[in-house]
């Protein structure tokens, strides 16, 4: 992998991790176009995912600090309730990660056909959440947190946007736009960090084995981090303004193009 390929893929990961267009799907498309696969692709994916987690922590640091301060008061308050909802939301993805990791890994080797199909599903979800106007709730309930967690677990399919799926599910459940965007980005921190840690412990992250030059990994990491910071802030504002329909149109077009490309 050259430094230029790492730069482009890092930018793709950083931008699409937060925009509801599927980072895994776009990373798979970019990797296929550059002819990157196997251990090289896996190692790079772990690095840029870690970069986007770091960008989330930087952008939402005030919210994270608020949660920790409230949590260590050791009493049932808004912060403790919020953390409890995040923990509940992680149960489905935890089950998938523990019991179905091999199946998930196999899915990522299925090629661009599944990516195209899942991009169309993302487009449909974003469209439904835009046109459906349920009665709004003041706070995210534990039940809603678990349902949103199920949607996150379903988003392991490449092409099915994690942020798009969780935000759309939250909106369909009647949660306020500003609440669900922040919750969607915070709920993914622990699962991604946990997965990266397990890969490190098992030797899943190996720059030497992957053959990727160190400079390429560094450039990819920095590109994903910087673009991720911008995309995270931008996406929160977009959700508040309710303009997800434009991403639905984009995903529909990208899905059709990917399907056509995969068939030829």
Helix H, strand E, coil C: the string for 143-155 is HHHHHHHHHHHHC
pLDDT in 10s for each residue of the chain, 264 residues: 777 878 888 888 888 777 777 776 676 777 677 666 544 556 777 778 788 888 888 888 888 888 888 878 777 888 889 889 999 998 888 888 767 666 665 655 556 788 888 889 989 998 988 888 778 887 889 999 999 999 988 888 777 888 889 989 999 998 888 788 888 888 877 777 766 666 555 555 555 555 677 788 889 899 989 988 888 888 878 877 777 888 899 889 988 988 888 777
Is residue 47, in this structure, part of any structural domain at all? Answer: yes
Q: What domain count does the chain have?
A: 1
The pLDDT assigned to 39 comes to 45
Is residue 259, in this structure, part of any structural domain at all? Answer: no
Alpha carbon distance 159, 119 (integer Å): 5
Domain that holds residue 82: 3-246
Is residue 230, in this structure, part of any structural domain at all? Answer: yes
The pLDDT assigned to 195 comes to 64
The pLDDT assigned to 198 comes to 60
Is residue 254, in this structure, part of any structural domain at all? Answer: no
The pLDDT assigned to 150 comes to 92
pTM: 0.78
Is residue 264, in this structure, part of any structural domain at all? Answer: no
**Residues contacting 255, CB < 8 A, separation 6+:** 116, 117, 118, 119, 120, 122, 123, 159
Is residue 18, in this structure, part of any structural domain at all? Answer: yes
25-34 contacts, C-beta under 8 A, 24 or more apart: 25/115, 25/118, 25/119, 25/158, 25/159, 25/160, 25/161, 25/254, 25/258, 27/158, 28/108, 28/112, 28/115, 28/158, 28/159, 29/112, 29/115, 29/258, 32/111, 32/112, 34/1, 34/5, 34/8, 34/9
The pLDDT assigned to 239 comes to 78
């Amino acid at each position: 992998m050259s430094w230029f390929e790492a730069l482009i893929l890092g930018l793709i990961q950083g931008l699409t991790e937060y925009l509801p267009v599927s980072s895994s799907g776009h990373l798979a498309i970019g990797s296929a176009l550059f002819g990157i696969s196997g251990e090289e692709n896996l190692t790079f994916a772990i690095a840029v995912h870690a970069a986007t987690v770091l960008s989330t922590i930087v952008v939402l640091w005030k919210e994270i600090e608020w949660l920790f301060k409230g949590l260590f008061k050791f009493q049932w308050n808004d912060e403790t309730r919020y953390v409890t909802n995040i923990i509940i939301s992680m149960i489905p993805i935890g089950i998938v990660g523990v019991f179905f990791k091999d199946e998930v890994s196999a899915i990522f080797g299925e090629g661009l056909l599944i990516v195209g199909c899942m991009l169309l599903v993302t487009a449909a979800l974003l469209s439904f959440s835009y046109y459906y106007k349920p009665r709004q709730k003041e706070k995210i309930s534990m039940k809603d947190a678990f349902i949103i967690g199920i949607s996150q677990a379903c988003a392991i399919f490449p092409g099915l946007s994690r942020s798009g799926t969780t935000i759309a599910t939250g909106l369909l459940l009647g949660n306020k736009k500003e609440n669900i965007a922040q919750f969607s980005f915070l709920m993914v921190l622990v699962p991604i960090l946990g997965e990266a840690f397990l890969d490190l412990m098992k030797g899943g992250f190996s720059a030497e084995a992957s053959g990727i030059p160190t400079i390429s990994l560094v450039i990819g990491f920095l590109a994903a981090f910087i673009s991720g910071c911008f995309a995270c802030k931008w996406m929160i504002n977009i959700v508040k303004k309710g303009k997800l329909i434009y991403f639905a149109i984009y995903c529909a077009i990208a899905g059709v193009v990917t399907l056509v490309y995969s068939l030829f």
